[in-house]
């Protein structure tokens, strides 16, 4: 997994690229990024599968904020990005949301 951030020239917007490596997603047919920035809409941000097997998606988000998110694989498997900026506890035991700080 990985997250890259690129601040646009005005520093008010950050282009964030989310990447899932094939090891995590090799059996998945679809992947979505679901979080605060899309009101936890499971269909809002579908990731594209690249030729190398990675799923990836770039979104532009307002800078100066924190966002919680998770990956949803095949509509039923939730994954946390352990390389995110932070983790936040959820209402479910031993489950965490990834936290993105832009």
SS3 of 58, please? strand
Using one digit for the tens of pLDDT, what is the confidence trace for 51-80? 888 899 999 999 999 999 999 999 999 999
Whether the per-residue pLDDT at 41 is higher than 90: the answer is yes
Domain that holds residue 89: 2-101
Query: How many domains is the chain partitioned into structurally?
Result: 1
CATH number at residue 20: 2.60.40.10
CA dist., res. 59 & res. 15, Å (int): 6
pTM (two decimals): 0.91
Contact 34, 70 (CB under 8 A): yes
């Amino acid at each position: 997994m990985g997250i890259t951030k690129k601040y646009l020239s005005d520093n008010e917007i950050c282009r964030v690229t989310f990447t899932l490596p094939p090891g995590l997603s090799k059996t998945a047919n679809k992947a979505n990024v679901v979080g605060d920035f899309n009101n936890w809409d499971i269909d809002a941000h579908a990731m594209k599968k690249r030729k190398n097997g990675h799923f990836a998606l770039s979104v532009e988000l307002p800078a100066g904020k924190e966002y919680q998110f998770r990956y949803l694989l095949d509509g039923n498997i939730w994954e946390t990005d352990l390389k995110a900026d932070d983790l936040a506890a959820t209402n479910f035991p031993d489950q965490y949301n990834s936290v993105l700080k832009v």
